[in-house]
Amino acid sequence: QVQLVESGGGLVQPGGSLRLSCAASGRIRSINAMGWYRQAPGKQRELVATITSGGSTNYGDSVKGRFTISRDNAKNTVYLQMNSLKPEDTAVYYCGAVDVRNYWGQGTQVTVSS
């Protein structure tokens, strides 16, 4: 089992920045990749960014050039640095991890509004 705990969400003005953190615990050595997904009201959950155990990254088209995913293996933590935030980035952001199955955190709300 893998447990994921997100933090760092909140309210920010358009153009601002936030950094989300996802701390993993449990069977972390079995994790192949971790990532961030988001779900806005009335919409399906969508990919934001992923990072593999080897460090390869992948981003959703809507966040390329604005968001950066990174990991600190010593802290078993994955980060999402979000810059130039837009109102359409408003959503619940979920941390995910995969080994032989998918694991999800509880989600953290990000609201971009003036």
In whole angstroms, give the CA distance from residue 109 to residue 114. 16
pLDDT tens-digit series, residues 13-54: 999 999 999 999 998 888 889 999 999 999 999 999 999 988
According to the model, what pLDDT value does residue 56 have? 96
In whole angstroms, give the CA distance from residue 31 to residue 94. 16
pLDDT tens-digit series, residues 78-109: 999 999 999 999 999 999 999 889 999 999 99
